[in-house]
């Protein structure tokens, strides 16, 4: 496995290497990231994974400061899983002219759930992903459904800029108690880690209730269930999985996803489940 820090070196190396698969990450890698790498290795000739903690997508400075950074362990894990290239640039390499953001407005997608509660987040995500796509020029890029709204934003980004990279969405990888794997899980104390398992438990309950009950009833049950835990619910929404339009009544749609964000201590966690 080769590790590059400079764009010029990376681009030189990638010349005539066939179908490039790309897995952008912020590091502190776990098996969720590994699943994306494996998918890329299966589908492509060469797999590039980037490790870059992108400052412009953090709307909370403490979150950025606390974000785990484990480059050495990350490289070991990537190598063990047949990743070919790690691109770990410095901030100045990605943002040579300061933090200039892409002039893009995702409209509705920026107004609900993650968009609503993390203002500016998706603009930062789009800026860095566009920049990384311009550098790597991948034929395929792999993203987790764990960040379902982000996946929709990326699909919208490639449409708007007519980027030819194919976006591949991959399923959520979970811990044995159901907790969605996340780099932020490392920041949880032992007690918080136990509490965090409630997120998936409550989503699973919502999925079960969806067979018989209506949206408002489910929302009330979810609120009550979170009330019994030490988690602070930020939002729970039921939405169409094609467009993330929030659903008020059950007649609305067939393909439906429940999305949740909750604080576990200071750590903000998100998860979702198809109903």
Residue of 121, 119, 123, 117 lying closest to 105 (CA atoms): 123
Question: What is the pattern of x (binds ligand AMP, CB under 6 A) and - over residues 33-72?
Answer: x-xx------------------------------------
Of 180, 199, 239, 267, the one binding ligand AMP (CB under 6 A) is 180
Which range of residues in 60-68, 98-106, 178-186, 261-269 is near ligand AMP by CB under 6 A? 178-186
Residue in the shown chain whose Cβ atom is closest to ligand AMP: 144
Tell me whether residue 8 or residue 82 sits nearer to ligand AMP (CB atom): 82
Distance CA 260, CA 216 (A): 15
| CB 79, min distance to ligand AMP, A | 18
CB of 51 to ligand AMP, least distance (A): 8
Query: Exactly one of 10, 14, 20, 26 binds ligand AMP (CB under 6 A); which one?
Result: 26
The catalytic residues are 33
Number of helices (H), then strands (E), belonging to the chain: the values are 10, 9
71-90 binders of ligand AMP (CB under 6 A): none
CB of 174 to ligand AMP, least distance (A): 7
Distance CA(150)–CA(26), nearest Å, equals 14
Whole-angstrom distance, CA of residue 274 vs CA of residue 15: 40
Measured CA to CA, the distance from residue 144 to residue 170 in angstroms comes to 5
Give the residue from 38, 58, 154 showing the smallest Cα distance to 99: 58
Contact between 32 and ligand AMP per CB under 6 A = yes
Supply the minimum distance, in Å, between the C-beta of residue 210 and ligand AMP: 22
* 180 or 247: CB nearest ligand AMP: 180
Q: Smaller CB distance to ligand AMP: residue 67 or 218?
A: 67
Residue 147, CA distances (Å) to 19, 174, 215, 221 in order: 25, 13, 22, 24
Considering only 27-35, 111-119, 186-194, 235-243, which stretch makes contact with ligand AMP by CB under 6 A? 27-35
Of residues 146-165, those binding ligand AMP (CB under 6 A): 146-147
CB 182 within 8 A of CB 146: yes
Burial of 22 (0-12, 13-18, 19+ CB in 10 A): buried
- Distance, C-alpha 137 to centroid of its chain: 20
CA 178 – CA 197 distance, rounded (Å): 6
Among 50, 127, 165, 182, binds ligand AMP (CB under 6 A): 182
User: Which span sits near ligand AMP by CB under 6 A: 62-70, 79-87, 179-187, 216-224?
Assistant: 179-187
C-beta closer to ligand AMP: residue 95 or 143: 143
Nearest to residue 270, comparing CAs of 224, 237, 227? 237
Q: Which is nearer to ligand AMP, 109 or 180 (CB)?
A: 180
Sign of the Cα pseudo-torsion (194, 173, 166, 15, in order)? positive
- Contact residues for ligand AMP, defined by CB under 6 A: 25-26, 32-33, 35-36, 143-144, 146-147, 170, 172-173, 180-183
């Amino acid at each position: 496995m080769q590790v590059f820090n400079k764009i010029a070196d990376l681009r030189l190396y990638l010349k005539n290497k066939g179908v490039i698969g790309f897995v952008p990450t912020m590091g502190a890698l776990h098996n969720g990231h590994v699943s994306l790498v494996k998918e890329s290795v299966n589908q492509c000739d060469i797999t590039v994974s980037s490790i870059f903690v992108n400052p412009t997508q953090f709307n909370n400075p403490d979150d950025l400061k606390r974000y785990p950074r484990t480059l050495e362990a990350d490289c070991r894990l990537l190598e063990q899983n047949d990743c070919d290239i790690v691109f770990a640039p410095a901030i100045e390499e990605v943002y040579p002219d300061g933090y200039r953001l892409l002039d893009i407005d995702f409209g509705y997608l920026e107004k609900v759930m993650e968009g609503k509660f993390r203002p500016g987040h998706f603009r930062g995500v789009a800026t860095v992903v566009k920049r990384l796509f311009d550098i790597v020029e991948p034929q395929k890029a792999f993203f987790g459904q764990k960040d379902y709204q982000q996946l929709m934003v990326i699909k919208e980004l490639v449409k708007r800029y007519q980027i030819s990279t194919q976006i591949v969405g991959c399923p959520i990888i979970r811990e044995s108690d159901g907790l969605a794997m996340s780099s932020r899980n490392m920041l949880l104390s032992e007690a918080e880690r136990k509490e965090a398992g409630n997120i998936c438990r409550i989503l699973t309950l919502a999925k079960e209730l969806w067979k018989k009950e209506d949206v408002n009833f489910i929302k009330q049950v979810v609120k009550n269930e979170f009330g019994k835990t030490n988690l602070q619910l930020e939002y729970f929404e039921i939405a169409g999985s094609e467009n993330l339009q929030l659903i008020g009544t059950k007649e609305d749609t067939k393909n439906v996803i429940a999305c949740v964000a909750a604080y576990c201590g200071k750590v903000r966690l998100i998860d979702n489940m198809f109903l």
